[in-house]
A = this chain, B = another copy of it.
Amino acid sequence: MGFESFTFKKLGVRINSNESSIYRYFENKHKLLLYLASWYWGWMEYKMVFATNGISDPIQKLDRAIEILTQSVEEDNAFSHINEVILNRIIVNEYSKSYLVKEVSQENKEGYFIIYKRLVCRLSEMIADVDASYPYSKSLASSVLEGSLHQYFLQEHFPVLTNCNTTVTPTKFFKDLISRTLNLDVNG
């Protein structure tokens, strides 16, 4: 229903629970979004670290990381009690709202974004491992993560603003972008 019209009262009805009970777990819906986002990025980080763990070649390592971080979340592999497909949809549509608030600096100080920041930094390090002379590894890393969500959103709602579709995936676009930017030829 979108973050704006979502309320704890509605959630209570949906899960057969009570508004006041939910308030004992989350101060407000913004904090719930922060929680879901951290869960999501923690899960992405886990997948990325796991998938790139054994790879020694930095180029292949980065390539695999981009793949994990930008691919669509299709299959529900019953990883946990959380439905990752639905969560991914929520992140694509709502994640920006978790930090585009006037309290962002305070909440950042309080640690609400550490997992996301750690993930961006890991990616930026992988970029630096491929090309230490590239001076924008952090900006490139944050662009890939944010941009990936954005391309999926455009694919759904503004197809005229993206080349991505079911065959040309955001993964393809970003792999190509990284490959051109760091002067690799992993993708031919």
Contacts and interface: CB of A to CB of B under 8 A. Distances in A.
A161 interface: yes
Contact of A142 (B4, B108, B161): B161
Interface string A90-102: 0001101101111
Contacts of A142: 150-151, 154, 158, 161-162
A31 interface: no
Contacts of A113: 158
The count of identical subunits is 2
Given A102-B5, A140-B177, A161 B120 contact: yes
Interface in A154-168: 154, 157-158, 160-164, 168
Q: Is the interface of A mostly helix, strand, loop or mixed?
A: helix
A157 B106 CA distance: 10
A161 B181 contact: no
Nearest to A151: B139
Contacts of A139: 151, 154, 162-164, 170, 173
Interface in A132-151: 135-143, 146-147, 150-151
A121 interface: yes
Contacts of A163: 135-139
A105 interface: yes
Contacts of A94: 100
A183 interface: yes
Interface of A: 1-2, 4-5, 93-94, 96-97, 99-102, 104-105, 108, 113, 117, 120-121, 135-143, 146-147, 150-151, 153-154, 157-158, 160-164, 168, 170, 173, 176-177, 180-181, 183
User: When A and B form their complex, which 4 residue pairs have the shortest distance between CB atoms, in order from nearest?
Assistant: A2-B102, A96-B96, A142-B161, A180-B181
